[in-house]
Chain A
Amino acid sequence: MRILVVEDEKPLLLQLVSRLEEEGYAVSSAADGEEGLYLGMEFAVDVAVIDLGLPNLSGIDLIKKLRGAGKDFPVLILTARSRWQDKVEGLEAGGDDYLVKPFHVEELLARLKALLRRSAGWSQAEIQCGPVALNTNTQQVTVDSKPLELTAYEYKILEYLMLHAGEVISKIDLTERIYDQDYDRDSNVIEVFIGRLRRKLDPDEKYNPIETLRGRGYRFALARSAPQESEG
């Protein structure tokens, strides 16, 4: 998953980026609103963490511009202003959740995971498609209730595919979301990871969980079975 972090306080920004990368996220970061707008428009982002008090372009205006451009990824607002007028203003501008500074990083991580799940239509931490269950909080994967050991990148790919189960995800999309910008990417590595995942998830080739659609990408083919968030 790719997270966009826009925060003008350098120490806090570095702390957030470091912690999110430790959690396995690919992170794009910006220290002002204009740069944040550029990154949000140009790159595939799954969730954004935006501070309201930004230089050049305020957090509220940044969110409005992103929404105006059709960017619908969830936004977690960071703010030192804890008054309800400020919270409502931020959420009305297009934010999906808010966190008042100072905050515990664990709370930030939990809220980000909830937003990612919610945006993919999942209301619970545990997502299940057929016999495969993945817990976004504990990062544990089971098949027919048997735990599965996955590497960091294998988990990232599986999590993304399962959250968007039934959708076609291109190789480029996957690459954008699991790798940091500076990482030397090789598109063949994705194929290798997909191959490994198939062998681990379905050694007997009973379920065929991951479909390859030539020229288009991959799709997690097993139907969702965990309770979803209802619309409206």
Chain B
Amino acid sequence: MLSLNLRVLIAASIVLVSFFGIAGLTLDRAYYVTAEEALIDRLQGQIYTLIATTGLDDNNNILISDSAADVLYFMAGPDLYAQIALNNGKRLWHSQSLDSQPLSFAVGLERNEMRFSKLKTPNGKVFAALSYGVGWDDTHRQHVFIYSVAEDLQSFQKKISSYRNKLWGLLGGVGLVLLIVQGTIMRWGLAPLQSAADELGAIENGVQHRLHRKYPGELKALTDNLNALLDHQNEHLERYRHTLGDLAHSLKTPLAVLQGSVEKSISEGELTTIVQEQVERMNQITEYQLQRAAAAGQSPLIAPISVQLISEKILSSLKKVYADKNVQVQFQVTPGLEFHGDEGDFMEVVGNLLDNAFKWCTNKVNLHIKPIEKKDLVHEGIVILVEDDGPGIPAKLVQQVTQRGVRADEGIKGHGIGLSVVQDIVQIYGGTLKISTGTLGGAGISASLVTKR
């Protein structure tokens, strides 16, 4: 893939070439037209001089005064090609130069008609010719005389050629300088991108943990988001480390109990009981720490999830598992509500709360999910409320059930970490967990998950 620098350079080159090309062609054309007009003006002047120095006698013969020939010669020099002719082309007077270089001037002009043309001769020369139809203002004289002058275009063409060389040379030089300047400006302009790439390289190498340099406004959103992502990953990594440490630490106690039981001389039955208890304990610890480690927390670049869609999937799964109970579920959710957090975390909270509700209910469960009331405009998020018509959780056990591995009813087999996991996730999201008596008479648990936007 082409680099940004090269892309801009190619684009700028195309634009500059096009611009200077068009400008050059325009200037060239303008100069040519102007030069040609000046030539025509000059030829016109020569015709008027010729007219001023001539007259007609009574027999319609052209009379040129003595001084006129000198004036003409002085004006035009040996390069002047001039003739006076009748309208049918019969020559009445011509300059000496026409003897060696005959030219076919225009004929059949109207009175006061001016005609400019370029005449090419058999020997390859090109002449600019101007012919003018003159009629004397005399009622007796009806003839139209054609006054014609011509000039060799060689010097004219030399001038044009010289101008073109200078023009294109200058434009080319300026264009090249502009390209170089453009390239330099681009490198300077893209320097922040290179700086960001250098910093990311340093992060990869472990030299630093986030982007430190200041960046222009256009990049700030990107670098701020990158930093937020890096911070989130670092937090997650930190949580993994802590969880691993907590796991190792927590396992030591049941391992110690097992070791002690093996070293003591106790009955097989007692040993079996102790082993079962401690294995159960270690299982709960492992399960809980795994869940803690897996909690993602809020991430800046996460796509929002549909609360209704995911909740319905969980409800459908639980209805399958608890089909025997035929639980009646009332599910209310604000239409279009989205959760701007991790899908796995949302499912853990809703799944664990609903699982407990389905397990404990008689046959009714309510699930209500709504946005957090915007008292504080900065914080947004959702509130998940789960109620059941079961026996509820006694007040003295409310604190216990939110601790790791302890359940209100020890008689039910299985893992007892559901609410502890919910509490951990709620804390990661900066929300709150409230346990009380619900509207159905059983437990009512409200968990809020805050997602700052």
Interface residues of A (CB under 8 A from B): 82-85, 87-88, 91-92, 95-98, 100, 102, 104, 106-107, 114, 118, 123-124, 229-230
A97 to B320, CA, bound (A): 7
Ranked nearest first, the 4 interchain pairs of A and B with the lowest CB-CB distance are A84-B351, A84-B347, A91-B317, A123-B324
Contact A85 B343 (CB under 8 A): yes
Chain B residues with CB under 8 A of A82: 287, 290-291, 415
Chain B residues with CB under 8 A of A83: 291, 294, 344, 347-348
Tell me the minimal C-beta distance from B10 to chain A in angstroms: 48
- Residue B124 interfacial (CB < 8 Å): no
Chain B residues with CB under 8 A of A92: 313, 316-317
Chain A residues with CB under 8 A of B291: 82-83
B: number of interface residues (CB 8 Å): 25
A106 to B316, CA, bound (A): 26
- Residue B158 interfacial (CB < 8 Å): no
- Residue B378 interfacial (CB < 8 Å): no
A91 to B314, CA, bound (A): 9
| Given A82-B291, A83-B347, A88 and B323 contact (CB-CB distance below 8 Å) | no
A36 to B169, CA, bound (A): 83
**Of residues 297 to 343 in B, which have CB atoms within 8 Å of A's CB atoms?**
313-314, 316-317, 320-321, 323-324, 326, 343
Contact A230 B326 (CB under 8 A): yes
- Residue B352 interfacial (CB < 8 Å): yes
**Of residues 371 to 393 in B, which have CB atoms within 8 Å of A's CB atoms?**
none
Chain B residues with CB under 8 A of A104: 413
Tell me the minimal C-beta distance from A116 to chain B in angstroms: 12
- Residue B206 interfacial (CB < 8 Å): no
Contact A98 B321 (CB under 8 A): yes
Tell me the minimal C-beta distance from B240 to chain A in angstroms: 16
Chain B residues with CB under 8 A of A91: 316-317, 320-321
Q: Looking at A84, A87, A95, A106, which has the most chain B CB atoms within 10 Å of its CB?
A: A84
23 contacts between A and B (CB under 8 A): A82-B290, A83-B294, A83-B348, A84-B344, A84-B352, A87-B351, A88-B313, A88-B351, A91-B316, A92-B316, A97-B321, A98-B321, A100-B415, A102-B279, A102-B283, A106-B413, A107-B414, A118-B323, A118-B324, A123-B323, A123-B324, A124-B324, A230-B326
A163 to B227, CA, bound (A): 62
Contact B317 A85 (CB under 8 A): no
Tell me the minimal C-beta distance from B283 to chain A in angstroms: 6
Chain B residues with CB under 8 A of A118: 323-324
Chain B residues with CB under 8 A of A124: 324
Besides A84-B352, A87-B351, A88-B314, 8 other CB < 8 A contacts? A85-B343, A88-B347, A91-B317, A96-B320, A102-B279, A104-B413, A118-B323, A124-B324
Chain A residues with CB under 8 A of B324: 114, 118, 123-124, 229
Chain A's closest residue to B350 (CB) is: A84
A83 to B314, CA, bound (A): 12
Tell me the minimal C-beta distance from A92 to chain B in angstroms: 7
**Of residues 269 to 297 in B, which have CB atoms within 8 Å of A's CB atoms?**
279, 283, 287, 290-291, 294
A38 to B191, CA, bound (A): 62
Contact B313 A107 (CB under 8 A): no
Chain A residues with CB under 8 A of B317: 87-88, 91-92
Chain B residues with CB under 8 A of A84: 314, 344, 347-348, 350-352
Chain A residues with CB under 8 A of B313: 88, 92
Chain B's closest residue to A104 (CB) is: B413
| Given A82-B290, A107-B413, A107-B414, A229 and B321 contact (CB-CB distance below 8 Å) | no
A95 to B348, CA, bound (A): 19
Tell me the minimal C-beta distance from B281 to chain A in angstroms: 12
Tell me the minimal C-beta distance from B226 to chain A in angstroms: 27
Tell me the minimal C-beta distance from B414 to chain A in angstroms: 7
A114 to B291, CA, bound (A): 29
A100 to B321, CA, bound (A): 13
Chain B's closest residue to A91 (CB) is: B317
Tell me the minimal C-beta distance from B405 to chain A in angstroms: 14
Chain A residues with CB under 8 A of B294: 83
A97 to B323, CA, bound (A): 10
Chain B residues with CB under 8 A of A229: 323-324, 326
Chain A residues with CB under 8 A of B326: 123, 229-230
Tell me the minimal C-beta distance from B59 to chain A in angstroms: 121
Tell me the minimal C-beta distance from B63 to chain A in angstroms: 116
**Of residues 183 to 230 in B, which have CB atoms within 8 Å of A's CB atoms?**
none
A121 to B287, CA, bound (A): 35
Chain A residues with CB under 8 A of B290: 82
Tell me the minimal C-beta distance from B204 to chain A in angstroms: 30
Chain B's closest residue to A122 (CB) is: B324
Tell me the minimal C-beta distance from B432 to chain A in angstroms: 21
Chain A residues with CB under 8 A of B352: 84
Chain A's closest residue to B348 (CB) is: A84
Encoded as 1 (CB less than 8 Å from any A CB) or 0, chain B from 344 to 360 comes to 10011011100000000
A220 to B323, CA, bound (A): 25
Tell me the minimal C-beta distance from A84 to chain B in angstroms: 3
Tell me the minimal C-beta distance from A222 to chain B in angstroms: 23
Tell me the minimal C-beta distance from A180 to chain B in angstroms: 29
Chain A residues with CB under 8 A of B344: 83-85
A83 to B292, CA, bound (A): 11
A80 to B164, CA, bound (A): 84
Tell me the minimal C-beta distance from A76 to chain B in angstroms: 10
Chain A residues with CB under 8 A of B283: 102
